[in-house]
Amino acid sequence: MKQVALVTGSSRGIGRAIAAELVREGYAVCVNYCKSRQAAEELAAAIRDGGGEALAVQADVANRLAVEAMTAAAERALGPVTLLVNNAGISRQGLFQDVDDTQWDRFLAVNLTGARNAIQAVLPHMLREKAGCIVNISSIWGLRGASCEVAYACTKAALVGLTRSLALELAPSGIRVNAVAPGCIETDMVRALGPETRELLIDQTPLGRLGTPEDIAHAVAFLASEKASFLTGQILTADGGFIV
């Protein structure tokens, strides 16, 4: 069966690394973006130039109709989605009492409902085939909590519950559901915290460095592979020992 991956939020950062790694593993990839059109189209073009198959599609994952349209476009161009990676997410630091309704609702809509929308869009084909793989990108902050990132941590904790519960529900259909919980990764999100905070995070990481987007991409590729065929409902923490 042809392997087709849909990676949400894959125009940059961790998502971009995941898409590139999956291409190396033989997948055709749908590169999803919300606003970064140029970056997404450049990635898709680079994949095609290298002999792979790729399609860049705009969709705000919080919008169910947009996600359904994206999935249909991916299926027409590449084939039915056999691997879904729910990577799209937003974050913001701030005191909990300052989080207003608009911010709270947006966190839930993108980080949690976005995953729901994507799963429900690809699931009918997976159920018919009794095969498929879903990998959610959670966070160590969803496992241990994060001061001044309460809304973000709540949504990432919810993805853990989604992963474990859905794994149980879909196991009889042969569909595996797992998650990766990244630690402190060298991305724009961490760089925006400033050099002092970055160095502090390195000091708190037992392996003595920040992770790279490629570290997370390798974890996703493993969970999607036959080497992980007996793994479902698992949260693979890739954090350099940060929360051991």
**Active-site pick, 27, 33, 141, 152:** 152
Q: Are strands 4-7 and 28-33 parallel, antiparallel or unpaired?
A: parallel
Residue 156 DSSP code:
H
CA dihedral 168, 109, 182, 141 (to 10 degrees): -100
152 is catalytic: yes
Which tokens belong to 163?
């992963």
User: Which residue type is seen at 54?
Assistant: A
Q: What DSSP letter does each residue of 164-213 carry, written as one string?
A: HHHHHHHGGGTEEEEEEEE-SBSSHHHHTT-HHHHHHHHHHSTTSS-B-H
Dihedral sign (CA 230, 232, 235, 239): positive
Active site residues: 152
